Structure 1
Amino acid sequence: MSLSPQQAQDIFSENFAPWIQALGLTITDISNSGATLMMPITPDLARVGGIVCGQALASMADTAMVFAAFGHLQAAHPVATTNLDTQFLRPATGEAVRCDAEIVRAGKALMFARATMVAMPSEKIVATATATFYIPPK
Protein backbone atom coordinates (compact mmCIF):
# COMPACT_ATOMS: atom_id res chain seq x y z
CA MET A 1 0.00 0.00 0.00
CA SER A 2 1.53 3.32 -1.02
CA LEU A 3 1.23 6.61 0.84
CA SER A 4 -1.01 9.34 -0.56
CA PRO A 5 0.09 12.99 -0.54
CA GLN A 6 -2.52 13.67 2.19
CA GLN A 7 -1.24 10.81 4.36
CA ALA A 8 2.31 12.12 3.88
CA GLN A 9 1.16 15.65 4.80
CA ASP A 10 -0.44 14.28 7.98
CA ILE A 11 2.82 12.48 8.86
CA PHE A 12 4.66 15.75 8.32
CA SER A 13 2.24 17.72 10.52
CA GLU A 14 2.26 15.18 13.34
CA ASN A 15 5.95 14.20 13.47
CA PHE A 16 8.30 16.91 12.23
CA ALA A 17 9.89 19.64 14.34
CA PRO A 18 8.04 22.97 14.52
CA TRP A 19 10.90 24.83 12.80
CA ILE A 20 10.69 22.44 9.82
CA GLN A 21 6.90 22.86 9.75
CA ALA A 22 7.47 26.64 9.71
CA LEU A 23 8.92 26.25 6.19
CA GLY A 24 5.33 25.80 4.98
CA LEU A 25 6.09 22.63 3.01
CA THR A 26 3.33 20.93 1.04
CA ILE A 27 3.75 17.37 -0.21
CA THR A 28 2.25 17.37 -3.69
CA ASP A 29 3.35 13.91 -4.84
CA ILE A 30 4.76 10.74 -3.28
CA SER A 31 5.47 7.35 -4.84
CA ASN A 32 7.76 4.37 -4.41
CA SER A 33 10.45 6.23 -6.37
CA GLY A 34 10.28 9.74 -4.95
CA ALA A 35 8.42 12.76 -3.61
CA THR A 36 7.72 16.35 -4.63
CA LEU A 37 7.37 19.16 -2.12
CA MET A 38 6.54 22.86 -2.52
CA MET A 39 7.76 25.69 -0.28
CA PRO A 40 6.34 29.21 -0.55
CA ILE A 41 8.93 31.97 -0.64
CA THR A 42 8.05 34.18 2.31
CA PRO A 43 9.86 37.04 4.07
CA ASP A 44 10.66 34.66 6.95
CA LEU A 45 12.76 32.47 4.61
CA ALA A 46 14.49 35.26 2.72
CA ARG A 47 17.72 37.07 3.39
CA VAL A 48 18.87 40.41 1.96
CA GLY A 49 17.58 40.86 -1.59
CA GLY A 50 14.60 38.52 -1.16
CA ILE A 51 16.73 35.42 -1.77
CA VAL A 52 15.77 32.21 0.05
CA CYS A 53 18.44 31.39 2.63
CA GLY A 54 20.54 28.29 2.04
CA GLN A 55 19.51 26.77 5.37
CA ALA A 56 15.86 26.69 4.23
CA LEU A 57 16.81 25.07 0.92
CA ALA A 58 19.00 22.43 2.59
CA SER A 59 16.24 21.65 5.11
CA MET A 60 13.69 21.38 2.31
CA ALA A 61 15.92 19.00 0.36
CA ASP A 62 16.54 16.80 3.39
CA THR A 63 12.82 16.68 4.20
CA ALA A 64 11.88 15.91 0.58
CA MET A 65 14.40 13.07 0.46
CA VAL A 66 13.06 11.70 3.76
CA PHE A 67 9.59 11.61 2.18
CA ALA A 68 11.05 9.94 -0.90
CA ALA A 69 12.38 7.29 1.50
CA PHE A 70 8.95 6.98 3.14
CA GLY A 71 7.41 6.56 -0.31
CA HIS A 72 9.89 3.82 -1.14
CA LEU A 73 9.30 2.09 2.19
CA GLN A 74 5.52 2.68 1.87
CA ALA A 75 5.45 3.86 5.49
CA ALA A 76 6.82 6.50 7.82
CA HIS A 77 9.65 4.24 8.98
CA PRO A 78 12.42 6.12 10.83
CA VAL A 79 15.43 7.04 8.70
CA ALA A 80 18.54 8.88 9.82
CA THR A 81 20.39 11.32 7.58
CA THR A 82 24.04 10.25 7.62
CA ASN A 83 25.22 12.55 4.85
CA LEU A 84 23.72 15.63 3.17
CA ASP A 85 25.50 17.50 0.41
CA THR A 86 23.86 20.59 -1.07
CA GLN A 87 25.00 22.55 -4.12
CA PHE A 88 23.63 26.09 -4.44
CA LEU A 89 23.53 27.04 -8.12
CA ARG A 90 21.71 30.38 -8.29
CA PRO A 91 19.60 32.61 -6.02
CA ALA A 92 16.16 31.20 -5.24
CA THR A 93 13.63 33.94 -5.90
CA GLY A 94 10.03 34.05 -7.08
CA GLU A 95 6.84 32.71 -5.53
CA ALA A 96 7.85 29.21 -4.40
CA VAL A 97 10.48 26.48 -4.62
CA ARG A 98 9.61 22.99 -5.84
CA CYS A 99 11.79 20.10 -4.71
CA ASP A 100 11.76 16.85 -6.67
CA ALA A 101 13.41 14.07 -4.65
CA GLU A 102 14.13 10.56 -5.86
CA ILE A 103 15.60 7.37 -4.49
CA VAL A 104 18.76 6.46 -6.39
CA ARG A 105 19.43 3.16 -4.65
CA ALA A 106 17.92 1.41 -1.67
CA GLY A 107 19.66 -1.32 0.25
CA LYS A 108 18.80 -3.04 3.52
CA ALA A 109 20.62 -0.58 5.76
CA LEU A 110 21.35 2.42 3.52
CA MET A 111 19.31 4.44 1.06
CA PHE A 112 20.73 6.99 -1.39
CA ALA A 113 18.68 9.92 -2.67
CA ARG A 114 19.00 13.08 -4.72
CA ALA A 115 16.92 16.23 -4.96
CA THR A 116 16.55 19.10 -7.39
CA MET A 117 15.13 22.45 -6.25
CA VAL A 118 13.45 24.66 -8.83
CA ALA A 119 12.32 28.29 -8.42
CA MET A 120 8.73 28.89 -9.41
CA PRO A 121 7.44 30.28 -11.69
CA SER A 122 10.76 30.69 -13.57
CA GLU A 123 11.43 26.90 -13.55
CA LYS A 124 15.15 27.59 -13.01
CA ILE A 125 17.15 25.05 -11.02
CA VAL A 126 18.47 26.81 -7.92
CA ALA A 127 20.06 23.94 -5.99
CA THR A 128 20.65 20.21 -5.93
CA ALA A 129 21.35 17.85 -3.07
CA THR A 130 22.29 14.27 -2.36
CA ALA A 131 21.84 12.34 0.85
CA THR A 132 22.50 8.99 2.43
CA PHE A 133 20.04 7.62 4.98
CA TYR A 134 20.51 4.85 7.50
CA ILE A 135 17.45 2.61 7.82
CA PRO A 136 17.28 1.16 11.34
CA PRO A 137 15.93 -2.40 11.56
CA LYS A 138 12.20 -2.68 12.29
Structure 2
Amino acid sequence: MLDPATAQHLLKENFAPWVQALQPEITEIGPDQAVLEIPVRPEIARMGGIVCGQALATLADTAMVFACAGRLGRFEPVATTNLETRFLSAARGDAVRCTARVIKAGRAMIFAEALLIRLPDAATVAAASATFYLPS
Protein backbone atom coordinates (compact mmCIF):
# COMPACT_ATOMS: atom_id res chain seq x y z
CA MET A 1 0.00 0.00 0.00
CA LEU A 2 1.25 3.46 -0.89
CA ASP A 3 1.52 6.37 1.52
CA PRO A 4 1.70 10.06 0.53
CA ALA A 5 5.49 10.32 1.07
CA THR A 6 6.22 7.28 -1.11
CA ALA A 7 3.79 8.48 -3.76
CA GLN A 8 5.44 11.92 -3.74
CA HIS A 9 8.82 10.28 -4.32
CA LEU A 10 7.36 8.25 -7.21
CA LEU A 11 5.96 11.44 -8.73
CA LYS A 12 9.41 13.06 -8.63
CA GLU A 13 11.07 9.97 -10.12
CA ASN A 14 8.57 9.17 -12.88
CA PHE A 15 6.85 12.32 -14.12
CA ALA A 16 8.03 14.90 -16.64
CA PRO A 17 9.62 18.13 -15.44
CA TRP A 18 6.69 20.18 -16.76
CA VAL A 19 4.30 18.15 -14.55
CA GLN A 20 6.60 18.66 -11.57
CA ALA A 21 6.74 22.40 -12.37
CA LEU A 22 3.12 22.59 -11.17
CA GLN A 23 4.48 21.68 -7.70
CA PRO A 24 1.88 18.96 -7.04
CA GLU A 25 1.68 17.67 -3.49
CA ILE A 26 0.09 14.29 -2.82
CA THR A 27 -1.85 14.77 0.41
CA GLU A 28 -3.75 11.47 0.40
CA ILE A 29 -3.54 8.14 -1.40
CA GLY A 30 -5.34 4.89 -0.78
CA PRO A 31 -7.55 2.29 -2.45
CA ASP A 32 -10.49 4.69 -2.61
CA GLN A 33 -8.92 7.94 -3.82
CA ALA A 34 -5.88 10.12 -4.33
CA VAL A 35 -5.80 13.81 -3.45
CA LEU A 36 -3.29 16.23 -4.96
CA GLU A 37 -2.92 19.99 -4.55
CA ILE A 38 -1.07 22.62 -6.55
CA PRO A 39 -0.43 26.20 -5.48
CA VAL A 40 -1.85 28.98 -7.63
CA ARG A 41 1.19 30.83 -8.96
CA PRO A 42 1.73 33.41 -11.72
CA GLU A 43 3.58 30.80 -13.83
CA ILE A 44 0.39 28.77 -14.34
CA ALA A 45 -2.12 31.62 -14.42
CA ARG A 46 -3.43 33.79 -17.19
CA MET A 47 -5.03 37.22 -17.04
CA GLY A 48 -6.89 37.81 -13.80
CA GLY A 49 -4.89 35.21 -11.91
CA ILE A 50 -6.97 32.33 -13.30
CA VAL A 51 -5.16 28.99 -13.53
CA CYS A 52 -4.89 27.90 -17.17
CA GLY A 53 -6.85 24.91 -18.39
CA GLN A 54 -3.70 23.01 -19.35
CA ALA A 55 -2.53 23.06 -15.72
CA LEU A 56 -5.93 21.87 -14.49
CA ALA A 57 -6.06 19.03 -17.03
CA THR A 58 -2.53 17.98 -16.08
CA LEU A 59 -3.42 18.01 -12.38
CA ALA A 60 -6.53 15.90 -13.04
CA ASP A 61 -4.63 13.38 -15.17
CA THR A 62 -1.82 13.08 -12.63
CA ALA A 63 -4.25 12.66 -9.73
CA MET A 64 -6.13 9.94 -11.61
CA VAL A 65 -2.85 8.11 -12.31
CA PHE A 66 -2.22 8.08 -8.56
CA ALA A 67 -5.80 6.95 -7.92
CA CYS A 68 -4.96 3.99 -10.18
CA ALA A 69 -1.81 3.33 -8.13
CA GLY A 70 -3.81 3.54 -4.92
CA ARG A 71 -6.34 1.03 -6.22
CA LEU A 72 -3.57 -1.32 -7.38
CA GLY A 73 -1.64 -0.90 -4.14
CA ARG A 74 1.52 -0.10 -6.08
CA PHE A 75 2.72 2.31 -8.76
CA GLU A 76 2.38 0.90 -12.27
CA PRO A 77 2.93 2.92 -15.44
CA VAL A 78 -0.44 3.49 -17.09
CA ALA A 79 -1.20 5.15 -20.41
CA THR A 80 -3.96 7.74 -20.70
CA THR A 81 -6.15 6.61 -23.59
CA ASN A 82 -8.66 9.43 -23.25
CA LEU A 83 -9.13 12.43 -21.00
CA GLU A 84 -12.17 14.66 -20.84
CA THR A 85 -11.99 17.83 -18.78
CA ARG A 86 -14.97 20.09 -18.10
CA PHE A 87 -14.09 23.59 -16.91
CA LEU A 88 -16.85 24.88 -14.66
CA SER A 89 -15.59 28.00 -12.89
CA ALA A 90 -12.50 30.20 -12.63
CA ALA A 91 -9.65 28.53 -10.76
CA ARG A 92 -8.10 31.26 -8.65
CA GLY A 93 -7.23 31.63 -5.01
CA ASP A 94 -4.44 30.00 -3.02
CA ALA A 95 -4.44 26.45 -4.40
CA VAL A 96 -6.36 23.89 -6.43
CA ARG A 97 -7.19 20.51 -4.88
CA CYS A 98 -7.99 17.49 -7.04
CA THR A 99 -9.69 14.42 -5.63
CA ALA A 100 -9.52 11.44 -7.99
CA ARG A 101 -10.99 7.98 -7.74
CA VAL A 102 -11.18 4.82 -9.79
CA ILE A 103 -14.72 3.98 -10.81
CA LYS A 104 -13.90 0.62 -12.46
CA ALA A 105 -10.71 -1.38 -12.79
CA GLY A 106 -10.36 -4.28 -15.19
CA ARG A 107 -7.34 -6.34 -16.22
CA ALA A 108 -6.19 -3.91 -18.90
CA MET A 109 -8.37 -0.80 -18.57
CA ILE A 110 -8.99 1.48 -15.59
CA PHE A 111 -11.70 4.15 -15.56
CA ALA A 112 -11.32 7.14 -13.26
CA GLU A 113 -12.85 10.51 -12.46
CA ALA A 114 -11.65 13.64 -10.72
CA LEU A 115 -13.13 16.74 -9.12
CA LEU A 116 -11.09 19.94 -8.81
CA ILE A 117 -11.88 22.67 -6.28
CA ARG A 118 -10.24 25.98 -5.56
CA LEU A 119 -9.02 26.86 -2.11
CA PRO A 120 -9.83 28.43 0.24
CA ASP A 121 -13.53 28.65 -0.72
CA ALA A 122 -13.87 25.03 -1.99
CA ALA A 123 -15.79 26.04 -5.14
CA THR A 124 -15.77 23.42 -7.88
CA VAL A 125 -13.67 24.58 -10.84
CA ALA A 126 -13.45 21.48 -13.05
CA ALA A 127 -14.33 17.82 -13.39
CA ALA A 128 -12.55 15.21 -15.45
CA SER A 129 -12.80 11.60 -16.47
CA ALA A 130 -10.23 9.36 -18.09
CA THR A 131 -9.50 5.85 -19.25
CA PHE A 132 -6.08 4.33 -18.63
CA TYR A 133 -4.45 1.33 -20.26
CA LEU A 134 -2.53 -0.93 -17.89
CA PRO A 135 0.16 -2.74 -19.92
CA SER A 136 0.68 -6.38 -18.96
Is the pair's TM-score, using the shorter chain for normalization, greater than 0.5? yes
State the secondary structure of the residue aligned to 1:49: helix
- Using the size of structure 2 for normalisation, the TM-score is 0.99
Determine what percentage of the aligned residue pairs are the same residue: 54
Can you list the C-alpha shifts for 1:8-46, whole angstroms capped at 9, x where unaligned?
A: 000001111000000000000000121000000000010
Paired position in structure 1 for 2:129: 130
CA RMSD of superposed structures (Å): 0.5
Post-superposition offset of 1:75: 1.1
| Structure 1 position 92, deviation (Å) | 0.3
Alignment of 1:1-138 (within 5 A): 2-137=1-136
Secondary structure of the corresponding residue to residue 44 of structure 1: helix
Q: Distance in 2 between matches of 1:75 and 1:61?
A: 19
| Alpha-carbon separation, structure 2, partners of 1:123 and 1:77 | 31
Cα distance in 1, alignment partners of residues 81 and 50 from structure 2: 28
Extract unaligned runs of 5+ from structure 2: none
Structure 1: 5+ residue stretches without partners:
none
CA–CA distance in 2 between the matches of 1:75 and 1:102?
15
Kindly tell me the number of residue pairs found equivalent between the two proteins: 136
What one-letter code is carried by the residue in structure 2 that aligns with 1:118?
I
Q: CA deviation at 1:76?
A: 1.2
